[in-house]
């Protein structure tokens, strides 16, 4: 079964750091680009970051550039998001998503999504 499972969310104070992980299974992980997308409470979907199959191409939303770092370990079939200098406005459900192509960002469509991991930034 094709699956993405996020982990690492939680409650954190403003200014602190958190690292999200996404474990992939059921497909050849290093054949595809991957993304992080978030949804703040009561809001729509917002693309956060994307990474190509070999980490050679990486992109970020302006709202997280300089604070978040996306990475992947193809040997472990895993995607990561290191989040530093967290702000209250980073509070959201963070989804991992698989691209249908190899060379994102921007890439193609997101055909597989995880269930998400919740990040709450509050003092």
Partner 1 sequence: DIQMTQSPSSLSASVGDRVTITCRASQSISSYLHWHQHKPGKAPKLLIYAASSLQGGVPSRFSGRGSGTDFTLTISSLQPEDFATYYCQQSYSTPITFGQGTKLEIK
Output 72 or 99, the one with its CB closest to partner 1: 99
Give the other-Cβ count within 10 Å of 109's Cβ: 9
Shorter beta-carbon distance to partner 1: residue 63 or 74:
63
Positions in the binding site for partner 1 (CB under 8 A) = 35, 44-47, 50, 59-62, 95, 97, 100, 104-111, 113-116
- Closest distance of CB 95 from partner 1, Å: 7
Q: What angle do CA 96, 86, 110 make, to 5 degrees?
A: 15
Closer Cβ to partner 1, 43 or 75, answer by number:
43
Q: Count CB-CB contacts under 10 A for residue 2.
A: 10
Question: Is residue 82 helix, strand or coil?
Answer: strand
């Amino acid at each position: 079964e094709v699956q993405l499972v996020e982990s690492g969310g939680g409650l954190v104070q403003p200014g602190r750091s958190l690292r999200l992980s996404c474990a992939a299974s059921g497909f050849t992980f290093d054949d595809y680009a991957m993304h992080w997308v978030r949804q703040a409470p009561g809001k729509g979907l917002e693309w956060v970051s994307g990474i190509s199959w070999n980490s050679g191409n990486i992109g970020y939303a302006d709202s997280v550039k300089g604070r978040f770092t996306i990475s992947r370990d193809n040997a472990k079939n895993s995607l990561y998001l290191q989040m530093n200098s967290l702000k209250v406005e980073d509070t959201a459900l963070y989804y991992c998503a698989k691209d249908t192509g190899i060379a994102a960002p921007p890439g193609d469509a997101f055909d597989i999504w995880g269930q998400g991991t919740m990040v709450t930034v509050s003092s």
